[in-house]
A and B are shown apart, each in its own frame.
Chain A
């Protein structure tokens, strides 16, 4: 225990934590996990720890959860959307439009049951967080202020040291892992001649009458500045807004922390002083110390949603999964599936996953191929900056190649001052998919797991190192990537060419034919038909099969099979079975649903 260990915990000051050298006086209570703060991030972590049956405690200064929201935003309107009806039933998908709910197994604990407003009132958030903690029986110690945190070196400890937390009242806690979810609640200090006359957002009056007939200068052009301006607009002479940079509108930057509308705004007026942490949300200074929630936003600052509930509910789950593997040998959850399900598993995720969508560029799905590419493991929402360390962090093996599924905006699109409504901004043709501008799925294929060097020195503006091959699924305004020709077919071709195999599906009759006329069978027949799970066609489908000419009519026309190899690039003899016949269908059929 000493100064050197404790001091560099955070570089910049500004977190409410004070670090001291007080040796513990009372008998310490041991906890495997200590969570500081019962805000949304702290409660989210508590939920995962509770579900996993871990030994944990949450310490909260205030008497109830979410004390931040009892005071902020000052004008009481949240800027996080609460879209209660999306036209879809898929609960996972709907979380894309629900920016306030925490993750849980209990559908009653969805924010839409707490507010009808699209931009809800902060009081509803306080009520929601209280219910979340109570209903799930989370172990939170309220009215508990942690006065000191020290490090106690101990070889037996999980991380080589314990975190010693001392309450104001003197009670001491010994924690193996410390999860800090205290948010950012120290305001930016301004310092210039005359700054003593400035009123901070944290204390400014919210009563417009206090500003009647005045000239007001607002420093900053963020959400809080506009929130304040809007509130007093009707009564002032002039409002000047001054800022170092030009106004950033979030529809131009895709960053939810930027101004989302000129009318509604709040929050986020506090500094850009985030602690130094890794992409795994662990402190660079002390092993076993993790930063959750708003304070973890440095990982994706100005890029993704990690500073907001709808982002950090997923990053908190990432931290939990990393901890489960590190301390409890629970490998990162994954589904193992036969290779014939590869295309479908990707289509399913990109169409419904919320974590991928909210935390684009930060969390990505990873597919680990098994030997000979006959099967794969699907891992959801892995922090992509940690890709090189995937094996040690998840306990899974990436020996035979991998796919990474990331959501991306086009590179031409985003940025302050760019006209997001320029002509031709949407891409409709499959071959132009790589130029898609709106958020769309991008699949990276690597033969080998990239190294740390490769991740660090990746090309500029690339979220990941240069892959062996890349696929963009063409953008879709409704984020519906299920068009058979426009989305699924090109994806299959990409996967086939990466794996050097044929991933088409076949009816049992075709597999029967292949089984008796070829020495090898395509994966779909091997994994389905030969295991007595072939797909039998119905009369109506059989008729379409004949008409489509994908199936050879059984009229005698001489030997043909022997030379109808399905090699890429080979010109297929016309009329060979399953060779693409002269089907003419325009690409406009993209939008036609099954």
Chain B
């Protein structure tokens, strides 16, 4: 059991109140007036379990009084706790026992259902705070125990030891705003904590906040440290014990809720502390050494503590915000990383910075790559780094000029080049239309694009020997590391349209794959050798040393592009961040073998065999090397819990359903086992290990709801009576008045109205909470 003392300016308490008020402003604008009923009518409206506060008064009593005004004020807050309020007019015809005989003996009564809980003389309900406090106090009889002496407290402590936490609160009097705050807190947290309330200051003092210790302050730990509060040790010795104890009590009282205070008995202490130190300060953070201080004034101790817990306070403030992550904190990884990296100097001089004056002259004079970016845009600036990396790699070797233009400065140039989004990379070659780069925004792919564009495509091959060199990779030895496949189109000299279409396709694919064309008279020699009937494509896979032929049934450029891009796909590729999109596009479930390092050749062989036997036609088989693609571990953690040993073979149904199936890790990855697993899968006999979440990507955090803030400010203004028409002579005065008024309003509501909620969902949540409480009442 822990005994906690709370200060009643707590954020939590008021937050609840504030959001209720706001909710009411916008959603229940009509429930403001006090209903006036006859006794009979009133009792007929009472609902079982519902609490209701009624003020009985003589029909002929004045219609307004201070009490009625306060009662009117209380309607809204009480409504939030599900308590209705009414004024009952006692009329002669209906005599009710609640109707007093004399005007000044009128009382308010609290009912739950039709059972009377409490009666209140109107003078106890002296204002809105008193009304709310008293009503809740009556309703929360069990949740808030009122005590007057230490014995009561000890009884409660003993009863709850090991069962629940106690919140002990002291207020100066019943019915004051602090009391109301406690009651409102108890309303929300009454089921979680036992509230104990007293108005006896003697009780508070007798509890004693000061513990005596005689151990090394470095080792002492109390609940305060767990709560993130520091500890203050008042160093004492036999001779001055009484005085030190009083000082400690006083300090403890002043630091209530801010720090723990202990009396450190120097005489019985085993460790040495500096002779002159009279105060020891221990911060809440772990591992920070204690400070030995010489402070001769209680105020110095207080200010030392308060000055040194500042950081803590801020954090506490954030915690009590209860809104989770702060919307003013960056949660865009690109923006955040670029911001963090903004001070690093890039070797920008390796690229030529263009301006309005130099742009045209530069791109006309030499083959250039232009990066269009915007200095304020994070994605642009992230890519600029890769771009500079390309420049570093190409330094002194390329004929292509690497340039860049900041569209934040040279907007018109960018618009004229048809650049409306950032970043964009374009290649300008003499006498040709500029080409937009459409690959990954990264060093490797852009480098590949630039390198492959050293020659123009398709390459015109003029002899059989040259064709063979082309296919073997000899012809463009330095380029094949950028394009693992070389494509050669074979056409007879008469196939004009087919050749044009192929040229178009080759041009389209320039920078991504090497293409060549052969259409000499002796083309048949090649077509015979590679068993390809014209027109055809020969695909030379340099890494595997294989040459395949693909017939060209359709010769539309678009289809040829498609055939070539499909041909670039491998049968059992290593899946990487860069190549996943090309396989993802196929819309088939992925069969992924996760491997810690290179794939075991036997597994590879087994899967390739299945591929050849057409077992895997409806899947995309691939493998993932965790050494090359470390993010794979995060993927595995999403699939498995706990993570079995590698390698792991999983089937991920990405495009329909999101189920993940795992090949039993106790089975060997051999053909027979795979086949039987796949058959079971097909028959629906395998259970998935997990289903990937299908949530939409919603806004990560709410936005500022300026519309509501404007409304709130306007409605505040609206309550003042502003004359509808202004006379000429009034203008000046009114102007002034409004101005002053505005500056006054400016300060206040903004502080209280920092509503960060966009959706009202949070308000609804709060409302729900209160409705749930209703039921319990």
Chain A residues within 8 Å of B, Cβ to Cβ:
88-93, 107, 335, 337-338, 341, 344-345, 347-348, 351-352, 412, 415, 417-419, 422-424, 430-435, 467, 469-472, 482, 484-485, 488-490, 492-494, 496-497, 500-502, 504-510, 512-513, 515-523, 528-538, 540-542, 544-545, 547-548, 550-552, 554, 556-562, 565-572, 577-580, 583, 585, 587, 592-594
Partner among A412, A470, A521, A577 whose Cβ is within 8 Å of the Cβ of B742: A412
B289 interface residue (CB < 8 Å to A) = no
A-B contact pairs, 17 of them (CB 8 A): A91-B412, A470-B706, A489-B335, A505-B332, A505-B379, A507-B333, A515-B584, A534-B442, A534-B581, A536-B442, A544-B341, A545-B336, A556-B633, A558-B641, A568-B698, A568-B699, A572-B325
* 10 nearest CB pairs, A to B: A536-B442, A482-B376, A496-B699, A502-B697, A493-B703, A559-B641, A561-B638, A522-B697, A544-B337, A434-B706
Interface contact A351-B376, CB-CB below 8 Å = yes
How many Å lie between the Cα of A424 and that of B441 in the bound state? 45
Binds A, one of B112-120, B297-305, B756-764: B756-764
B383 interface residue (CB < 8 Å to A) = yes
Taking each of A91, A512, A513, A529, which has the highest tally of chain B beta carbons within 10 Å of its own beta carbon? Answer: A512
Interface contact B441-A536, CB-CB below 8 Å = yes
B256 interface residue (CB < 8 Å to A) = no
Interface contact A512-B631, CB-CB below 8 Å = yes
Chain B residue numbers with a CB within 8 Å of A570 are 324
Partner among B326, B344, B409, B445 whose Cβ is within 8 Å of the Cβ of A580: B326
Chain A residue numbers with a CB within 8 Å of B383 are 535
Chain B residues within 8 Å of A, Cβ to Cβ:
324-342, 344, 355-356, 374-379, 381-383, 385-386, 389, 407-412, 420-422, 438-445, 577-578, 580-582, 584-585, 590, 592, 629-631, 633-635, 637-643, 652, 654, 658, 690, 692-707, 709-710, 732, 735, 739, 742-743, 746, 750, 754, 756, 758-759, 761-762
Partner among B326, B329, B334, B732 whose Cβ is within 8 Å of the Cβ of A535: B334
Interface contact B440-A532, CB-CB below 8 Å = yes
Taking each of B382, B631, B697, which has the highest tally of chain A beta carbons within 10 Å of its own beta carbon? Answer: B697
Partner among A562, A569, A580 whose Cβ is within 8 Å of the Cβ of B761: A569
Interface contact B743-A337, CB-CB below 8 Å = no
How many Å lie between the Cα of A502 and that of B701 in the bound state? 9
A92 to B: closest C-beta gap in Å:
5
Chain B residue numbers with a CB within 8 Å of A559 are 637-638, 640-641
Interface contact A471-B706, CB-CB below 8 Å = yes
Chain B residue numbers with a CB within 8 Å of A532 are 438-440, 581-582
Given A89-B410, A532-B439, A535-B382, A348:B374 Cβ within 8 A? yes
How many Å lie between the Cα of A338 and that of B379 in the bound state? 15
Interface contact B693-A561, CB-CB below 8 Å = yes
Chain B residue numbers with a CB within 8 Å of A504 are 331-334, 700
Given A493-B702, A592-B342, A585:B440 Cβ within 8 A? no
How many Å lie between the Cα of A448 and that of B700 in the bound state? 25
Given A538-B385, A541-B338, A545-B333, A594:B375 Cβ within 8 A? yes
Chain B residue numbers with a CB within 8 Å of A497 are 699, 702-703, 758-759
How many Å lie between the Cα of A536 and that of B577 in the bound state? 9
How many Å lie between the Cα of A470 and that of B385 in the bound state? 36
Chain A residue numbers with a CB within 8 Å of B742 are 412
Partner among A344, A485, A513, A572 whose Cβ is within 8 Å of the Cβ of B374: A344
Interface contact A578-B642, CB-CB below 8 Å = no
Given A519-B654, A562-B690, A594-B339, A568:B333 Cβ within 8 A? no
Interface contact A580-B331, CB-CB below 8 Å = yes
Interface contact A558-B703, CB-CB below 8 Å = no
How many Å lie between the Cα of A424 and that of B690 in the bound state? 56
A347 — nearest CB in chain B belongs to which residue?
Answer: B376
Taking each of A89, A341, A585, which has the highest tally of chain B beta carbons within 10 Å of its own beta carbon? Answer: A89
Interface contact A509-B631, CB-CB below 8 Å = yes
Interface contact A516-B652, CB-CB below 8 Å = yes
How many Å lie between the Cα of A583 and that of B329 in the bound state? 7
Chain A residue numbers with a CB within 8 Å of B577 are 508-509, 512, 534, 536
A353 — nearest CB in chain B belongs to which residue?
Answer: B411
A457 to B: closest C-beta gap in Å:
17
How many Å lie between the Cα of A525 and that of B639 in the bound state? 21
Given A534-B581, A583-B330, A415:B735 Cβ within 8 A? yes
Interface contact A531-B581, CB-CB below 8 Å = yes
How many Å lie between the Cα of A530 and that of B579 in the bound state? 10
How many Å lie between the Cα of A583 and that of B697 in the bound state? 23
How many Å lie between the Cα of A550 and that of B643 in the bound state? 23
Interface contact B334-A507, CB-CB below 8 Å = yes
Chain B residue numbers with a CB within 8 Å of A515 are 580, 584, 654
How many Å lie between the Cα of A565 and that of B694 in the bound state? 9
Partner among A347, A433, A522 whose Cβ is within 8 Å of the Cβ of B706: A433
B407 to A: closest C-beta gap in Å:
8
How many Å lie between the Cα of A417 and that of B444 in the bound state? 63
Chain A residue numbers with a CB within 8 Å of B377 are 344, 347
Interface contact A494-B337, CB-CB below 8 Å = no
Partner among B336, B692, B702 whose Cβ is within 8 Å of the Cβ of A548: B336
Interface contact A513-B634, CB-CB below 8 Å = yes
Interface contact B642-A558, CB-CB below 8 Å = yes
A493 — nearest CB in chain B belongs to which residue?
Answer: B703
Interface contact A469-B707, CB-CB below 8 Å = yes
Partner among B338, B581, B756 whose Cβ is within 8 Å of the Cβ of A594: B338
How many Å lie between the Cα of A107 and that of B411 in the bound state? 14
Interface contact A587-B420, CB-CB below 8 Å = no
Given A89-B356, A544-B337, A521:B409 Cβ within 8 A? no
Taking each of B329, B331, B695, B756, which has the highest tally of chain A beta carbons within 10 Å of its own beta carbon? Answer: B331
How many Å lie between the Cα of A415 and that of B731 in the bound state? 12
How many Å lie between the Cα of A260 and that of B337 in the bound state? 46
B347 to A: closest C-beta gap in Å:
12
Chain A residue numbers with a CB within 8 Å of B640 are 559
Partner among B324, B328, B697 whose Cβ is within 8 Å of the Cβ of A523: B697
Chain A residue numbers with a CB within 8 Å of B329 are 580, 583, 585
How many Å lie between the Cα of A502 and that of B585 in the bound state? 22
Interface contact B438-A502, CB-CB below 8 Å = no
A482 to B: closest C-beta gap in Å:
4
Partner among B331, B333, B339, B746 whose Cβ is within 8 Å of the Cβ of A510: B333
Partner among A88, A470, A520, A551 whose Cβ is within 8 Å of the Cβ of B694: A520
B593 to A: closest C-beta gap in Å:
14
Given A518-B692, A540-B344, A545-B333, A554:B699 Cβ within 8 A? no
Interface contact A488-B335, CB-CB below 8 Å = yes
Q: Given known contacts A510-B333, A569-B759, what 9 new A-B pairs fall within 8 Å (CB)?
A: A431-B704, A471-B704, A492-B332, A497-B703, A505-B334, A536-B578, A542-B337, A568-B699, A594-B378
How many Å lie between the Cα of A484 and that of B337 in the bound state? 11
Chain B residue numbers with a CB within 8 Å of A535 are 334, 379, 382-383, 440-442
Chain B residue numbers with a CB within 8 Å of A562 are 638, 690, 693
Interface contact A533-B634, CB-CB below 8 Å = no
Given A544-B337, A551-B333, A344:B421 Cβ within 8 A? yes
Chain B residue numbers with a CB within 8 Å of A341 are 420-422
Interface contact B750-A91, CB-CB below 8 Å = no
Chain A residue numbers with a CB within 8 Å of B692 are 517-519
